[in-house]
Amino acid sequence: MLHDLNLAAAYADHLVMMCDGRIVTSGTPSEVFTTANLKRVFDLDAHVIHDPESGSPICVPRKRHHSITESCSLAEEDSVL
C-alpha cells in the first residue's frame, strides 16, 4: 500500500481512494487520480498533469495565497525585538 499519491499513480495498475474507511472510487490511475477526487478525499486543491515520460498522472498542489494581513501577522510574530 502506498500513501504517496504520485508514486501510487506512477506504479499501480489499479488505485483505490478511501475516506473514513469507505471506498470512494477505484480504477486505473487516470480514472481515479482527478482534481475532483483529490479535493473530495484529501481536501487537496491540485492540478493533475501527465508525466511526459510515462504518461502517468501527477498531482501538483496549487499554491495557497495568503492575504497581506496574514503575512504581516506572521512577520510580526517571527520578528525579534
Total count of domains within the chain: 1
How far apart, in whole angstroms, are the C-alpha atoms of residue 23 and residue 19? 7
pLDDT tens-digit profile of 27-37?
Answer: 999 999 999 99
Find the domain containing 17 and state its range: 5-78
Asked if 9 and 57 count as a contact pair (C-beta separation under 8 A), the reply is yes
Indicate if the pLDDT at residue 60 is higher than 80.
yes
Specify the pTM: 0.69
The closest alpha carbon to 49, from 59, 61, 62, 63, belongs to 59
Region 19-42 average pLDDT: 93
The DSSP element (H or E) to which 24 belongs, if any, is strand 22-27
